[in-house]
Structure 1
């Protein structure tokens, strides 16, 4: 089930985010940059702000009372941006990411958003394949050589 995130979901969201990030950052960047108490506190603060935001949304995937995925989107520099989409690693390849993505897309269609941006970690090939399969395309004008790749999704109108 996909639903709006609630303030009481904050700790579960932050912990899920940390576990998901560890899968693609491990061995690529220093561990303290994505794990540990200080990073979890920073992650929790970011999600707290997202849950309090008024422009955008935070959606949760839940199965049998367990949080299995989370997605967040909001305007950044005047452009709607998918800022986060994470699935609990133990629940990968079960359609949870696709369901979250579809719920986000539905929100963008209802809001009349024509295009959405996201940045994906350059070494996260699994995520890049997921986004490509869901219609996201690389931004040919984006500078190369950074740690992230800019992708765009054209959102059909209603």
Structure 2
């Protein structure tokens, strides 16, 4: 557990019974950077999150403060990538808890797992209009991925992170 100004923060693997809360947090967070509405709103995110939580080749971490879900991170080896690379598919903090250190602690937990798993590189894509997330990732050490520039008309930026070796 990590103790911070808002109370103790617990970061652990998400449980299958938490899929609904995870899907709800995901939707609330994504809604902040899609002013015209979240794309794929009709998509069954609950089922997608159930699948992510139950994947044997991936991981979903959740951050809880006082028993309440306040952050989520989902990652796995992307299809076709080497075993040194991990992809951060989803990373969200409840908007009511932004700027409280949750994202930084959750990111550090991800990095710890990546390092323990022998990962050397992490990749992600972030929506081009999500400046808040871009700033967060830059502060954590993510940089534009030179091998994956955005395609014409794509609304995502591709970032890369060099997982630091164990100290």
**TM beyond 0.5:** yes
Q: Quick one: distance in 2 between partners of 1:32 and 1:142?
A: 25
Residue 43 of structure 1: how far off its partner (Å): 1.1
Q: Quick one: distance in 2 between partners of 1:17 and 1:55?
A: 21
1:63-105: per-residue Cα shift (whole Å, max 9, x none)? 1111001001011122410001101100100011111100000
1:91-148: per-residue Cα shift (whole Å, max 9, x none)? 1000111111000000001011010100000110000000000000001232333110
Q: Provide structure 1 residue ranges, at least 5 long, that are not aligned to the other structure.
A: none
Q: Which residue of 2 aligns with 1:81?
A: 87
Q: More helix per residue: 1 or 2?
A: 1
**Aligned with residue 110 of structure 1, among 106, 109, 116:** 116
Q: Secondary structure at the match of 2:77?
A: strand
1:34-54: per-residue Cα shift (whole Å, max 9, x none)? 54xx33xx1111111111111
**Aligned with residue 43 of structure 1, among 41, 45, 57:** 45
Aligned CA-pair RMSD: 1.3
Aligned residue pairs total: 151
Q: Quick one: distance in 2 between partners of 1:125 and 1:52?
A: 31
- The answer (yes or no) to whether the contact 2:14–2:61 under 8 Å persists in 1 is yes
Q: Which residue of 2 aligns with 1:155?
A: 163
Q: Which residue of 2 aligns with 1:25?
A: 34
Q: Provide structure 2 residue ranges, at least 5 long, that are not aligned to the other structure.
A: 1-9
TM-score, normalised to structure 1's length?
0.90
Q: Quick one: distance in 1 between partners of 2:146 and 2:78?
A: 20
Residue 32 of structure 1: how far off its partner (Å): 6.0
